[in-house]
Chain A
Amino acid sequence: MATAAPTIPKKVDAQTAEQYRVWLRQMILIRRFEEKTGEAYSLGQIGGFCHLYIGQEAVAVGSIAALRHDDVLTCSYRDHGHALARGMAARGIMAELFGKATGCTSGKGGSMHLFDASKGFLGGHGIVGAHIPITTGLAFAIKYKKGDQVAVCYFGEAAVNNGAFHEALNMAALWKLPAIFICENNRYGMGTALERASAIYDISERACSYDMANEVVDGQDLLAMKAAMDRAVTRGRKESLPTLLEVRTYRFMGHSMSDPIHGHYRTKEEVEEQRKRDPIALWSDQLKSAKVIDEAGIKAMEESVMAEVMDSLKFAEESPDPDPSELWTDVYAGSN
Chain B
Amino acid sequence: MAVLTYRDALNQALAEEMRRDPSVFLMGEEVGVYQGAYKVSRGLLEEFGPMRVVDTPITELGFAGVGVGAATLGLRPIIEFMTWNFALLAIDQIVNHAAKMRYMSGGQVSCPMVFRGPGGAALQLASQHSQAFESYYAHIPGLKVVAPATPADAKGLLKSAIRDDDPVIFIEGEMLYNTKGEVPEGEHIVPIGKADIKREGSDVTIVCHSKTVTPALKAAEALAAENISAEVLDLRSIRPLDHEALFRSATKTHRVVVAEEGWAFAGVGAQVVDDLQREVFDELDAPVVRVTGADVPMPYNKHLEKAAKADAPKIVAACKKVLYV
Find the A residue at minimum CB distance from B103: A330
Q: Please give the residue numbers on chain A whose beta carbons come within 8 Å of chain B beta carbons, in ascending order.
A: 72, 103-109, 113, 115-117, 122-127, 130-145, 151, 163-164, 166-168, 170-171, 174-175, 329-333, 336
Question: In the complex, what residues of A have CB within 8 A of residue B103's CB?
Answer: 108, 330-331
Q: Which of B69-77, B266-274, B291-299 contacts A (4 or more CB under 8 A)?
A: B69-77
Measured CB to CB, the nearest residue on chain A to B73 is: A141
A137 in contact with B68 given A142-B73, A167-B57, A171-B56 (CB within 8 Å)? yes
Say how far A26's CB is from chain B's closest CB, in angstroms: 23
Q: What's the Cα separation between A113 and B105 when bound, in Å?
A: 7
Q: Which of B51, B64, B142 contacts A144 (CB 8 A)?
A: B51
The residue in chain A whose Cβ has the minimal distance to the Cβ of B67 is A137
Q: B106 near A130 (CB under 8 angstroms)?
A: no
Assembled-state Cα–Cα distance A144/B102 (Å):
23
B222 to chain A, nearest CB (A): 40
Can you spell out 9 A-B residue pairs with CB atoms less than 8 angstroms apart? A107-B106, A113-B104, A123-B101, A123-B104, A133-B62, A145-B75, A163-B61, A167-B62, A174-B57
Beta-carbon contact of A141 and B104 below 8 Å: no
Q: How far is the CA of A72 from the CA of B109 in the complex (A)?
A: 13
Given contacts A171-B56, A331-B103, contact A164 B61 (CB under 8 A): yes
Contact yes or no, B62 A136, CB < 8 A: yes
CB nearest neighbor in B for A115: B105
- A112 → B minimal CB distance (Å): 9
0/1 interface trace, chain B 51-66, chain A, CB 8 Å (1 if under): 1001011010111111
Say yes or no: B59 contacts A122, CB within 8 Å.
Answer: no
Smallest Cβ-Cβ distance to A147: which chain B residue: B73
Contact string, B84-119, partner A, CB cutoff 8 A, digits 1/0? 000000001100110001111111111010000000
Partner of B66, one of A125, A137, A166: A137
Which chain B residues lie closer than 8 Å to A144 at the CB level? 25, 51, 70, 75
Contacts of B101 in A (CB 8 A): 123
| Closest partner residue, chain B, to A332 (CB atom) | B166
Given known pairs A116-B108, A130-B96, the reply for A331 and B65 (CB within 8 Å) is no
B-chain residues with CB within 8 Å of residue A332 when the two chains form the complex: 102, 142, 144, 166
Output the nearest chain B residue to A114 by Cβ-Cβ distance.
B105
Q: Report yes or no: A115 in contact with B108, Cβ–Cβ below 8 A.
A: yes
Q: Which 9 A-B pairs have the closest CB atoms?
A: A137-B69, A167-B62, A133-B65, A106-B106, A333-B165, A105-B106, A137-B66, A134-B69, A167-B59
Interchain nearest-CB distance for A242 vs B (Å): 13
Q: Which residues does chain A contribute within 8 Å of B112, judged by CB atoms?
A: 333
Query: Are B59 and A171 touching (Cβ within 8 A)?
Result: yes
> Which residues of chain A are near B59, meaning CB under 8 Å?
167, 170-171
User: What B residues does A167 contact at CB under 8 A?
Assistant: 57, 59, 61-63, 65
Max count, chain A CB within 10 A of own CB: residue among B93, B106, B110, B164: B106
B25: chain A residues at CB < 8 Å are 144
Cβ of B313 within 8 Å of any chain A Cβ, yes or no, is no
With A72-B73, A130-B93, A138-B70 in contact, is A105–B108 under 8 Å at CB? yes
Give 20 new A-B contacts, CB below 8 A, not counting A136-B69, A137-B68, A141-B74. A113-B104, A113-B105, A115-B104, A127-B92, A130-B93, A133-B69, A134-B68, A134-B69, A134-B72, A134-B93, A136-B65, A138-B72, A144-B51, A145-B75, A164-B62, A167-B59, A168-B62, A168-B66, A332-B166, A336-B107
For A134, A140, A151, A333, which residue has the most chain B Cβ atoms within 10 angstroms?
A: A134
Across-interface contacts of B144 in A (CB, < 8 A)? 332
In the bound complex, residues from chain B placing their C-beta under 8 Å from that of A139 are 69
With A167-B57, A330-B103, A331-B142 known as contacts, the answer to whether A140 contacts B66 (CB < 8 A) is: yes
User: Considering only CB atoms, which chain B residue lies closest to A172 in the complex?
Assistant: B66
Closest CB-CB distance, B43 to chain A, in whole Å? 21
Instruction: Tell me which residues across on chain B come within 8 A of A117, comparing CB atoms.
Output: 105, 108-109
- Complexed CA–CA distance, A192 and B112 (Å): 38
Write the B33-62 contact mask toward A (1 if CB under 8 angstroms, else 0). 000000000000000000100101101011
With A133-B61, A133-B93, A330-B102 in contact, do A138 and B75 touch (Cβ < 8 Å)?
no
Q: Do residues B106 and A134 form an inter-chain contact, with CB atoms below 8 A?
A: no
Q: Contacts A137-B68, A141-B70, A330-B103; is A170 near B62 (CB within 8 Å)? A: yes
Could you tell me if A331 and B106 are in contact, using CB atoms closer than 8 angstroms? no
A331 with B141, Cβ < 8 A, contacts A130-B65, A141-B70, A170-B62 known: yes
CB distance from A89 to the nearest CB of B (A): 14
In the complex, what residue of chain A is closest to B66 when comparing beta carbons? A137
B66–A130 contact, CB under 8 A? no
> Of B57, B107, B165, which is in contact with the most chain A CB atoms at under 10 Å from its CB?
B107
**A177 to chain B: closest residue by CB:** B66
